[in-house]
């Protein structure tokens, strides 16, 4: 049963994702994706838009990777509003502040898309941290649970500019924003629990060129699709259950039937055995009185007669030759 429900959830997710990829009005354009990182994972993952999230890279040492798909308690979990659920199922976190350094070549406007999902805490105020470009806080006191809840995909969008060898956020320079040609993103720990990240996309375009403005539609559509698919699956499950019940009833009826047949067979076999035991020495007289017995008897006498007479004549011939 567990296996079945997992499969169902898996297929629901697949159908929802397939539906969303068609419906999503303004998807990310693959060729504008400069970096896409599957944080906390050693696996690459192709997105529905066709770009590839690479295995985790560019992160600081002394950080930890977690794969929640290993967690038995979370088997079959559906992550709400997730276009790419597998991205949110792995995470990198640090016991202290930590960051990513990602190469940036062309000077232009970019949007940083940070993908989060609270997989552990079920209360607000437990995991609160800041996001920085260089020394500048671009998101303060980020609390994913407070914003979205548990097991809900939540993406943050940060537009920035790369100009004259510097990173600008809202027209303010971010010191240490780019170091040795690499964008310096960091997650700053507060007195609360570990900062974390599930996926990073660096997009070569302004915020309005991303899928940000379509997010409300996307979420509404996700809920409609999910509700529809869940209802369809529930209907199918009910039908299957009914069919199973009917089959079980048939089997019970059939079992009764075979039991009865077995009983009859037992009786017949026993009677046959009794009859055979009675007939163990069939009287010779009875056998000879049957038509077959008479034919056999005639045959026996006839053959005996021929054999004896031929022996007799042969004997005579031998005598004559002598
Ligand atoms: C990146 O920024 C953080 C936060 O300000 C800073 O601590 C760190 O030293 C910077 N990284 C580099 C390589 O300069």
pLDDT 10s per residue in the chain (322 long)? 445 666 666 666 666 555 555 444 579 999 999 999 999 999 999 999 999 999 999 999 999 999 999 899 998 899 999 999 999 999 999 999 999 999 999 999 999 999 999 999 999 999 999 999 999 999 999 999 999 999 999 999 999 999 999 999 999 999 999 999 999 999 999 999 999 999 999 999 999 999 999 999 999 999 999 989 889 989 999 999 999 888 887 777 666 655 544 444 444 445 444 444 444 444 566 566 667 777 767 877 787 777 877 776 665 554 444 4
136 lines ligand 1 (CB under 6 A): no
135 lines ligand 1 (CB under 6 A): yes
* Domains in the chain: boundaries: 27-210, 288-321
CA dihedral 171, 173, 179, 181 (to 10 degrees): 30
**Regarding the domain delimited by 27-210, which CATH topology (the fold level of the hierarchy) does it fall under?**
Jelly Rolls (2.60.120)
Asked if residue 167 lies in contact with residue 174, where contact means CB atoms within 8 angstroms, the answer is yes
Which of 59, 87, 204 is CA-nearest to residue 154? 87
179 lines ligand 1 (CB under 6 A): yes
195 lines ligand 1 (CB under 6 A): no
Kindly report whether the global pTM for this prediction surpasses the value 0.75. Answer: no
Nearest ligand 1 atom to alpha carbon 132: 4
Helical spans, DSSP H, in 123-214: 144-148
Question: How many Å apart are CA 236 and CA 286, to the nearest integer?
Answer: 71
């Amino acid at each position: 049963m567990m296996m079945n429900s997992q499969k169902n959830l898996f297929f629901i997710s697949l159908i929802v994702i397939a539906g969303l990829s068609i419906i999503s009005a303004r998807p990310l354009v693959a060729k504008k994706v400069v970096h896409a990182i599957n944080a906390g994972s050693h696996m690459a993952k192709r997105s529905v838009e066709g770009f590839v999230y690479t295995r985790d890279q560019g992160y600081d040492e002394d950080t930890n990777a977690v794969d929640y798909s290993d967690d038995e308690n979370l088997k079959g979990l559906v992550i709400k509003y997730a276009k790419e659920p597998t991205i949110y199922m792995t995470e990198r976190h640090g016991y202290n502040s930590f960051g990513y350094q990602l190469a940036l070549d062309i000077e232009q406007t970019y949007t940083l898309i940070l993908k989060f999902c609270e997989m552990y805490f079920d209360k607000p105020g437990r995991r609160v941290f800041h996001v920085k470009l260089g020394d500048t806080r671009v998101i303060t006191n980020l609390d994913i649970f407070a914003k979205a809840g548990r097991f809900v995909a939540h993406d943050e969008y940060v537009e920035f500019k790369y100009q004259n060898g510097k990173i600008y956020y809202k027209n303010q320079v971010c010191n240490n924003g780019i170091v040795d040609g690499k964008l310096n993103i960091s997650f700053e720990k507060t007195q609360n629990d570990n900062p974390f990240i599930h996926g990073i996309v660096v997009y070569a375009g302004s915020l309005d060129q991303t899928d940000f403005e379509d997010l409300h539609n996307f979420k509404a559509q996700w809920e409609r699709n999910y509700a529809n698919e869940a209802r369809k699956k529930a209907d199918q499950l009910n039908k299957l259950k009914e069919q199973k019940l009917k089959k079980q009833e048939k089997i019970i009826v059939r079992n009764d039937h075979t039991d009865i047949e077995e009983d009859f067979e037992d009786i017949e076999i026993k009677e046959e055995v009794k009859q055979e035991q009675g007939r163990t020495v069939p009287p010779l007289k009875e056998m000879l009185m049957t038509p077959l017995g008479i034919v056999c008897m005639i045959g026996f006498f006839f053959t005996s007669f021929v054999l004896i007479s031929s022996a007799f004549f042969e004997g005579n011939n031998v005598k004559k030759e002598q």
